[in-house]
Amino acid sequence: MRYWEGYQQEPEDEPYTYYRKGQWAVTNGGMEGTPTPKLDPSGEQEGIYQIDASVIGPQWLDHVVVKHWVDLEEFIEALRMAIKIHRKDVPSEELEKAIAAARARRQDHASIFPPEPPPRDFGVL
């Protein structure tokens, strides 16, 4: 018998993606976010942003709402899915309250620090 013939692979041995939308994915390990050039043209955030399944919850909204490279609506959708998969114990009322607060905070943050306008192309004068 060869060594691999008796090996029973566990599901967590290999990464598995349950859900993906835009820059966020829900995997068997938790959540993963990849900055997009559109949201992070400076390349400030490099690599994959990971959140372990055991700590997924509404508290992450407070953390990511101020990160300019995070598409908040994509994060909210992925967070809802991750909670359904990994954290069924999180009350939906608590999550919805945190989502409303995060949206309001992002709007306040955007009014204080508006996005930089795109460079102007003056063309030939």
For the segment 6-40, what is each residue's pLDDT rounded down to a tens digit? 444 455 566 789 999 888 999 999 999 876 665 55
Q: Residues 72-96: what's their mean pLDDT?
A: 95
pLDDT digits (tens, 9 = 90+) for 85-99: 999 999 999 999 999
Range of the structural domain that residue 22 is part of: 15-112
Residue 61 lies in a domain: yes
Count: domains in the chain: 1
Q: Which of 114, 69, 75 is nearest to 98 (CA)?
A: 75
Residue 120 lies in a domain: no
Residue 6 lies in a domain: no
Residue 56 lies in a domain: yes
Residue 103 lies in a domain: yes
Residue 7 lies in a domain: no
CA distance 84 to 76: 12
Top pLDDT among 2 and 19 is at 19
Residue 50 lies in a domain: yes
Residue 121 lies in a domain: no
pLDDT digits (tens, 9 = 90+) for 99-121: 999 999 988 876 665 555 555 55
